[in-house]
Every structure is written in structure tokens, then in C-alpha cells.
Structure 1
């Protein structure tokens, strides 16, 4: 009787781990949804996945825990993060609907999925379970493979088909058909000349500045920063570092040192005497 009670009871350490890590996982999931910047959302999602891996390891599912960290967090999420950082996603992109009414459709699908999830959890029977000893009798990997490819093989194949469908759908939504011929470099140059806008190439970031980083606006010869030297994506994200005041102070100090040096060079020739004249 005591062995059965011990099997169904939760220790203090397990309860402490669940409430602490569960709270952090929920906060990370909420931050994934409500963060304004896509990079921050991806980092929060990666943290949530790591906590899920800790739950798997704590429950004896060592293979799932390792796969969760290596495949999902280490490979898929990092790939997604690098793509977001390289391509650049602004807040204006989330306001464009490629399909009319997709927001309401997504809200309806999410609500339906939530109802199904709550109903499934409410009807779940937790009175009897086999336990980790019986589930991992032949090994954790072997037990998981047996369940996936025998009892749950249909659900496994359906999940794979859904993932492939989602990938193809994402490609179709992001693909853009070119309806007109692409302009050549000569045509673009002639268009800039006719419009009179930025006939020469745009200045590079960090020109006349103390840095050459892409997130620092270049300074014009008069010391004012130029918005044309930084990417439009960085401007919309608010990720531009302003060093104009610091650069202006350095410029003033440099000009002052130059004036002092010029004054010394102008005075020295008049006061310079040859050794013969100095001996007289």
C-alpha cells in the first residue's frame, strides 16, 4: 500500500521544480507572443524549449530531453534566429495581411484548438499508469520507437504531413511573382539622375565618425549625423546608436589641437635663429 502511495505522490523537490520552471516557461511563452521584436521572441521561445527539455529529463525521458535541446533549440531555433537577424523583420511587416481576414481566421483556429486541448485534458484518465520502470524496460529510445511506430504510427505520419504542408504554405505565402522586367543597373542610374535623388552612391555607415559599425550613423563634415548611412530596418527597429555628441566633442578637441599646432608653426619661423646669429 505504501509503495502504491509513493508511486502516485509527488515529492517536495518535484513540486518545487515544477512550479518554478513551469512559471518561467509560461512567462517565456507569453513573452514570445507579446514581444515587439522578432529576435527577442525567438530568444524567449528558445528559453521555453530548454525548460521543456529539463522537464523531459526530470521525468526520465532522456532521449526526448536531448533531442529537444539539440534539434529544436540548438538547430531549428538558432536557424530561425539567424534568418530573422539577417533578413530583418520590422513591426510594419506584422500589419500586412497576405490573406484577407487571416487574423480572424487565426484567432478562430486558436480558440478551437484551446477548446480541444482543455476538453482533452479534462477527459484524460490519470488513475493508472505503467510508470517509468515498465516504459523504459528495454531502454528509453527503444520504448519510444515502439510507441511511435506501432501504437501511434498514424498520428506520427499525420504530424509529418502537417509539417510538410505548413512548410509548403509558408513558401507560397512568401513567394512573390515578378510581374515586370527587372531594371538594369544602367536604367536605375538614369532614373536616379532624372529624379535628382541621391545621384551618387549612398554614404557608408561610420563616415567621419569614430566607428564603422552598421548601427552608427555617419557624420557629415559639419558633424551632424546622416540618416542615409544606416539601414531602414535598423531605423524602424530603433537600434541606431547615436554618437553625434561624442563625435562633435572629439571634433572640437581635434580642431583646437590643430589650431594650436598651426599657431606654433607660424610663430617658430620668426623666432628661429641660426647658431651663428645666436652666438653673437
Structure 2
């Protein structure tokens, strides 16, 4: 309030009425100008949101007094009442509702800041008192200003200028304010209708309380050598098919090529030969081999045996290294060109 009164008094001095910068106005400018700049820098670089808002309040107060010193009383009071008294206080209320760290109020970040603030406050009061005392010398009452004159700084002249020469910027400002109001409403009420996301511990507790259909998660799909597909169901420890391992979308989709894979997994069709990939036949037992040899021996005794009929030839051609086998087949001879030459 002291700064506001000082600006109002300085605006009524004869030099201010004549458009000449006086000593008091100069002193006020060199005091409030650095304060406004300091408040702007503090607002930008402050770590706490509350401190940033307070620095902005200092800047707005300085600007309001400077408006009054420039013979613009309406703008000065509007700057102080509307912006500083209403908007910035609203910002502070929002910050108080949102909350801040309780340690900010008990921990002094800058040591000795109270002493420095007291010294600067006393110095500012002395400068303002000296400036006012010097500017009030020889003050005479001035004629009242025309409220409809644009240069008078009154509300009538300011409104006339805004709605004639600056109508488009004024409408842009109103659109900006409406957008800010809608954004505030979205931020305030946007997250209330959403269900909070449960943590992993809360989900496990809810499962065991019976809030879900089963206490454990669904089993994953099975991938086997016979069907490399996520549409293949998994198997339970007892060998049965886990019906919950497949998605409902896959179960409800009539895909014909998935049926053979499911039948193979469930055991409804014969499984393939396990030795099909290696190419080796399974080892037979001794009883199977002896029975097969007896069957082959009966065939040799009943029918002609080319190996026995040509036994002499085999002896004559013993130099070729061909030895007839039991079943009459001639084994491979490295020295012969073909099996026909071995038989001759």
C-alpha cells in the first residue's frame, strides 16, 4: 500500500502533468525497476513453486506502481487488485491444496537471509521517504482528468481504445482465458472417473480373497515339436489338456488347421516315429532276430539258392574276394566293377 500511495502522489506532481520526468519519479523507477527484474529472475530460477509465485507477486506489485507513476492509475490498480490480489492468491491457494514438503517451512535454505531482508527493507523505506519528501515540494492541485480521454488513464478512455483499435488482440486474450479455464477443469476432473491401478501385491491379495475366477494366472500356450504355434494348448502335470491356456478368441475361431494339432497333443491320433528325424531304426530284441533267421532258413531250403548252385563258381572266383552270404546276396566287393560281374 505504501508503494501504491507513492505512485499515486508522484503521478499528481506538476512535472508529471507536464510530461517531464521528475526526481521522485526517477527514484521510484530505479528502485522498482530492479525489483521487478529481480522478481522475474527469482520466479524462473526458484526451486519451490510457492517461492516462484511470491517472486511473481513482487514483480506485479512493482509494475502496478510504475503504471501509477506514469499517470495510468486505472492500469496500476487493476494490476495490483486483479492480478496480484486475485490471480496470484488463487495460484497460492492451489499450491496449498496440492501440498508441498513440510520441511520447507522449518529449514532455512539461505543462512542469514532474515538479517539481509531487514536491512534491505529499512534502506527501501528510507529511499521512498526521501523521494516522496523531495517530490512533494511545491505541489499545486491539478485539474481533474477527462475520464474519456485515452491519454488520461481512466477507465472510459482505456475501454474506448481497447474496443476500437485493439479489438482483435482483446478477443484473442479472451480465447486464451477460456482455453486455460477448460484446461483447469480437465486437469481437476479428468482422473476422478478412472479406476486406480492396482499394484502387484494388491492383485495377489484380491486373487486369494476370491475376487477373481482363479487365484493363479492363466497358463501360457504350449509350443511343441509337432505344432510350433501359440494356438497349441498346454498340458497339465497329469497329461491332460489345459483348457485355460488358449485365448477365448482362438477357441471361438473356426480354424480347421488347428484341429490336427490339438488332436495330436491330446493323444487322439498316433504320434510320429521318434526315430524319423535321426534316420536310425530301433534296435530289435534277440527273439525277433532269431525268428527272422529261421524264416529265412526255411526259404533257402525250399527254393533254389543261387549262391549254393554256383558254389564252384564262387570258389573259382575266390580271387575276386566275393563271399556269398547266408541269404544268397553278394556283399559289396571293392575289386569288382558291378554286382553282375561278382555273380559270374
The TM-score with structure 1 as length reference comes to 0.44
**Is the radius of gyration larger for structure 1 or structure 2?**
2
TM-score, normalised by the number of residues in structure 2: 0.36
Structure with more of its chain in helix, by fraction: 1
